[in-house]
């Protein structure tokens, strides 16, 4: 279909990433996704088939991202919509009790992973002269809470990184830091426990979020946005 978009989604194996993949495919868009969960990526590849593609990639590993980006760009070309969704959260704890390796892992995935994906996809988008980069932030990228300081730190970093990137982009492109809202995912349950059930499911969220994402364009460059209720 002529209105079909090429969409790249990281963290595609579960939660918001999984429902975005399913929704975009159902609407006729071409989706390239990645996650660390090999079995889930294989299942998605078998379920949807060509022209969609799903690969096992750890976004914190630049070599893996570089190899994946080359495959995607060679196969379908630069994405119209690049969704940096992959992220993790720390086990709830005061900052001084967070293990060093856990803090480092959050930075590697939530910040460096976003950089790696941008580094290897964005030049092709700039060369074509169009495309939107959406870096998933959080309410905790614009506010704070106890026991999740490492996660807050990474999402505040995403806000700054994205808005600075937006100032660097040529006309025709956009970079958007996006707060998806509060959704009942495994990540939320790790913080809110049973109270997470009071919030919308990923499927409910996707019915609002997917049209919102597809409508983003150059005029949204640099705007800190939140998926509407």
Query: Could you list the active site residues?
Result: 151
Are 34 and 56 contacting, i.e. CB atoms less than 8 angstroms apart?
A: yes
Assigned token pair, 222: 């640099």
Give the Cα-Cα-Cα angle 167, 169, 170 (nearest 5 degrees): 120
Question: Strand, coil or helix: what is 35?
Answer: strand
Question: Hey, what long-range contacts does 207-210 have (CB within 8 A, 24 or more apart)?
Answer: 207/23, 209/16, 209/20, 209/180, 210/20, 210/23, 210/24, 210/27
Are 95 and 138 contacting, i.e. CB atoms less than 8 angstroms apart?
A: no
Give the Cα-Cα-Cα angle 209, 144, 97 (nearest 5 degrees): 120
Q: Which of 1, 52, 11 is nearest to 34 (CA)?
A: 11
Sign of the dihedral defined by the CA atoms of residues 59, 124, 14, 227, in that order: positive
Residue 188 — φ and ψ, nearest 5°?
-65, -40
Task: Round the CA-based radius of gyration of the chain to a whole number and report it.
Answer: 17
Are 4 and 30 contacting, i.e. CB atoms less than 8 angstroms apart?
A: yes
């Amino acid at each position: 279909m002529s209105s079909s978009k090429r969409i790249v989604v990281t963290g595609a194996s579960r939660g918001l990433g999984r429902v975005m993949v399913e929704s975009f495919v159902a609407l006729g868009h071409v989706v390239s996704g990645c996650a660390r969960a090999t079995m889930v990526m294989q299942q998605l590849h078998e379920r949807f088939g060509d022209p969609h593609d799903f690969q096992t990639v750890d976004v914190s590993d630049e070599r893996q991202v570089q190899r994946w980006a080359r495959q995607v760009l060679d196969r379908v070309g630069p994405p119209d919509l690049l969704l940096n969704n992959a992220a993790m959260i720390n086990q709830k704890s005061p900052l001084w009790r967070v293990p060093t390796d856990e803090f480092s892992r959050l930075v590697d995935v939530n910040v460096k992973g976003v950089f790696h994906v941008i580094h290897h996809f964005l030049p092709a988008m700039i060369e074509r002269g169009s495309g939107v980069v959406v870096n998933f932030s959080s309410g905790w990228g614009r506010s704070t809470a106890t026991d999740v300081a490492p996660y807050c730190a990474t999402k505040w970093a995403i806000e700054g990184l994205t808005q600075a990137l937006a100032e660097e982009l040529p006309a025709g492109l956009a970079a958007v830091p996006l707060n998806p809202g509060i959704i009942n995912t495994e990540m939320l349950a790790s913080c809110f426990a049973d109270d997470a059930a009071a919030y919308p499911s990923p499927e409910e969220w996707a019915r609002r979020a997917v049209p919102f994402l597809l409508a983003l364009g150059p005029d949204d460059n640099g705007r800190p946005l939140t998926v509407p209720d």
